[in-house]
Amino acid sequence: MTQPQTTWTDRPEGGGMFALWLIRTIARRAGRRVARLLLFPITVYFLFMRGPERRASRNYLQRALGRRTSWWDGARHVHTFASTILDRVFLLGGPIDRFDVRVDGLDALHAALDQGRGALLFGSHHGSFEVLRVLATRTPQYTIKIVLDKKQSPAMTQLLDALNPALAANIIDASQDGPSIVMDIQRATAEGALVSLLVDRVRPGEPWLPARFLGGSARFPTSPWLIASALKVPVALGFGLYRGGNHYDLAFELFSDGVDIPRQARAEALSALIQRYAGRLEHYVRQAPYNWFNFYDFWHDDDGHTFDDAAVQRRTAARAGDAGDHPDNARDRA
């Protein structure tokens, strides 16, 4: 299968350097309440000036809501995204007690980390990944590292450097070559760290497999699962759902105590893992549909994918064969 001509990497980084600088400056000088007033013109601008993102939002919302969507649905979707962008300033650089964060599943995450093997925390572009900073305050005994492509996300990198140098120092740069990324992750988990990465986007040229998701065929990268299998550490899922105002729900699930992908059944094992992950992602998407922040064609409907069982098995075997035995294709998960 060929990659589509336009991918998420071709679109400007969400927010952009100037927009994030402007939001950060106003937020820190005038406060969150005043800065939130800016979200309304930002929402209108985004809806009128970012056509591809607007169409992607409409396509997604129709799948998630199961009905025809209105202009108001699109505005609410974008406003939710803009709200989490604004809150980055406060979640990364200020006291987080201004937020009401309800946490579920933290005991399971602690139990995994207490084994002393480190752990992987798989997130997505659904909700706010920055709200995971709550972990740093509630679990100060654990080191948290984040896999982030500094070249693909320069605005986010600059924001981290400016607001939280200590957190920025714990970034694993995903713009490195694949083996270097894997070695850095392995070193961190060997020291007992929690390594967080986003696993819902496929970079151009990166191995992927299809999975059923919101009624269609979506692509998910295989690299995170190959890394997990190689390291044999616990894998947890994390979702930071924005509920409006200053309210967030932070949910953790232990996905596996140790991923095993046997060589003789690699295609089937990879497909089952990714499909299971897609099912959990869909569960949380249904809970908070306006938290979906993949503003591009996530389903690639023009590929003509179907879910005829025989066709899926053929595609899965072919794509799993392309993935190779080693997780050297690891890249940005952010």
d(CA 139, CA 29): 30
Q: What is the pLDDT of residue 8?
A: 45
d(CA 149, CA 51): 26
Does 62 have pLDDT greater than 60? yes
Does 232 have pLDDT greater than 70? yes
Nearest to 176 by CA among 303, 330, 319, 48: 330
Does 190 have pLDDT greater than 50? yes
Q: What is the CATH number of the domain that holds 246?
A: 3.40.1130
Q: pLDDT, tens digit, for every residue of 45-60?
A: 888 888 899 999 999 9
d(CA 206, CA 208): 6
Instruction: Specify if 289 maps to a domain.
Output: yes
Instruction: Specify if 56 maps to a domain.
Output: yes
Q: What is the pLDDT of residue 20?
A: 66
Does 240 have pLDDT greater than 70? yes
Q: pLDDT, tens digit, for every residue of 121-155?
A: 999 999 998 888 777 777 778 899 999 887 777 76
Instruction: Specify if 303 maps to a domain.
Output: yes
Chain center to CA of 10: 17
Nearest to 127 by CA among 286, 281, 241, 283: 241
Q: Identify the domain containing residue 263 by its residue range.
A: 8-323
What six digits make up the tokens of 264?
């003789």
The arithmetic mean of pLDDT across residues 273-283, rounded, is: 98
Helical segments of the chain, H only:
16-30, 32-36, 39-49, 51-65, 71-93, 106-113, 134-138, 154-163, 165-168, 178-190, 223-231, 266-287, 309-323
d(CA 143, CA 194): 6
Q: pLDDT, tens digit, for every residue of 293-321?
A: 999 999 975 444 444 444 445 554 555 45
Q: What is the pLDDT of residue 136?
A: 74
Instruction: Give the CA distances from residue 37 to residues 17, 31, 63, 96, in Å, rounded to whole numbers and listed in that order.
Output: 20, 11, 30, 20
Does 28 have pLDDT greater than 90? no
Instruction: Specify if 328 maps to a domain.
Output: no
Q: pLDDT, tens digit, for every residue of 72-98?
A: 999 999 999 999 988 988 888 777 888
Nearest to 5 by CA among 54, 58, 52, 46: 52
Does 328 have pLDDT greater than 80? no
Instruction: Specify if 331 maps to a domain.
Output: no
Q: What is the pLDDT of residue 306?
A: 43
Instruction: Give the CA distances from residue 292 to residues 79, 126, 283, in Å, rounded to whole numbers and listed in that order.
Output: 12, 5, 12
* Average pLDDT value over all residues in the chain: 84
Instruction: Specify if 317 maps to a domain.
Output: yes
Does 255 have pLDDT greater than 80? yes
Torsion of CA 249, 280, 122, 56, to 10 degrees: -80
Task: Count how many domains the chain has.
Answer: 1
